[in-house]
């Protein structure tokens, strides 16, 4: 069975602080794909990153960075020097190599206070 | 912007009615997936269509049905609406090369309220 857990329901930080959003996943597949999406109040899910299970290299994109650790089944997302525009709900998702559905976590609502 | 559009943006229906939601996929995308997102929850997979055929279904009853058209636009139909069907309905388009691995691009959703 596939499952994604985002234990942090809500996080508030003051602008310019760093924040890490946790994602823990469960799967019996050896090949799988992990994603992060951002959902602003408008509702549209915005794609941030895709990572396959064979690539454990951490990735940095501007103020965003992702830490993928297969040993702990985690795919954490860090925002450095947070900004008010980062306020949104962030979802982690998992999909199998042979399959067609995304399994989403329950999301983490991030509020960045000016 | 993802290039995926949905209509209508908001809809109010009463219990027992039927509803049709529409989605226009991103150009070149041959696969569409539909999700239901209840308040405070993550999206739940309803079903996926690839080349006008259903290509997988989540844990939703048969009163949830869909269509995909040759131009890759699609519809989600829900019959005999229940109060619990109130949610944000999202469609996502992708290119089917190999199942599962392709990034899905989401539309802005349709907010359905069932009274």
What pLDDT, in 10s, does the model give residues A56-84?
888 888 999 999 999 999 999 999 999 99
CA distances from B41 to A77, A107, B82, B109 (A): 19, 7, 18, 14
pLDDT tens per residue across span B15-53: 999 999 999 988 788 889 999 999 989 999 999 998 889
In this complex, is the C-beta atom of A55 within 8 Å of any C-beta atom belonging to chain B?
A: no
- Average pLDDT score over residue span B56-77: 93
Q: Per the structure block, which two tokens stand in for A17?
A: 């602080």
Q: Which of residues 21-60 of B touch A (CB under 8 A)?
A: 31, 33, 35, 40-45, 48, 50, 55-56, 58
User: Among residues A16, A11, A26, A28, which one has the least CA distance to residue A98?
Assistant: A28
Torsional class of A111: left (φ above 0), alpha (ψ -120 to 50), beta (otherwise)? beta
Pairwise CB contact (< 8 Å): A97 & B98: yes
The predicted-structure confidence for A40-55, as pLDDT tens digits, reads as follows: 988 889 999 988 898 8
- CB contact, 8 Å: A8 with chain B? no
Assigned token pair, A88: 């949104």
Contact B45 A52 (CB under 8 A): no
**pLDDT on residue B98:** 56
* pLDDT tier, B86 (very low <50, low <70, confident <90, very high otherwise): very high
Q: How far apart are alpha carbons A92 and B73 in whole angstroms? A: 27
Smallest CA-to-CA distance from A40 within B88, B44, B34 is with B88
B75's tokens: 């519809």
Q: Is the pLDDT of residue B91 over 60?
A: yes
At A88 the three-state DSSP class reads strand
* Residue partners of B66: CB distance under 8 A and separation at least 6: B34, B46, B47, B49, B54, B74, B75, B76, B77
**pLDDT tens per residue across span A80-109:** 999 999 999 999 999 887 667 889 999 999
């Amino acid at each position: 069975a596939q499952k994604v857990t985002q234990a942090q329901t809500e996080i508030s930080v003051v602008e310019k602080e760093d924040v890490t959003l946790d994602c823990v996943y469960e799967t019996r597949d050896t090949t799988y794909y992990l994603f992060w999406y951002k959902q602003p109040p408008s509702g549209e899910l915005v794609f941030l990153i895709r990572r396959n299970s064979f690539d454990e290299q951490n990735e940095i994109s501007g103020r965003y960075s992702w830490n993928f650790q297969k040993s702990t089944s985690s795919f954490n997302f860090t925002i450095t020097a947070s900004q008010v525009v980062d306020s949104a709900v962030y979802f982690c998702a998992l999909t199998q190599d042979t399959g067609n559905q995304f399994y989403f976590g329950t999301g983490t609502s991030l509020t960045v206070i000016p | 912007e993802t290039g995926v559009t949905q209509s209508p943006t908001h809809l109010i229906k009463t219990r027992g009615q039927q509803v049709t939601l529409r989605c226009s996929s991103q150009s070149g995308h041959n696969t569409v997936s539909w999700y239901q997102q209840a308040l405070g929850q993550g999206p739940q997979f309803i079903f996926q269509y690839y080349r006008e055929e259903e290509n997988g279904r989540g844990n939703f009853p048969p009163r949830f049905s869909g269509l995909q058209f040759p131009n890759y636009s699609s519809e989600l139909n829900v019959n005999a609406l229940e109060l619990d069907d109130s949610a944000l309905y999202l469609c996502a388009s992708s290119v089917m090369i190999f199942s599962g691995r392709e990034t899905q691009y989401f539309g802005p959703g349709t907010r359905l309220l069932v009274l």
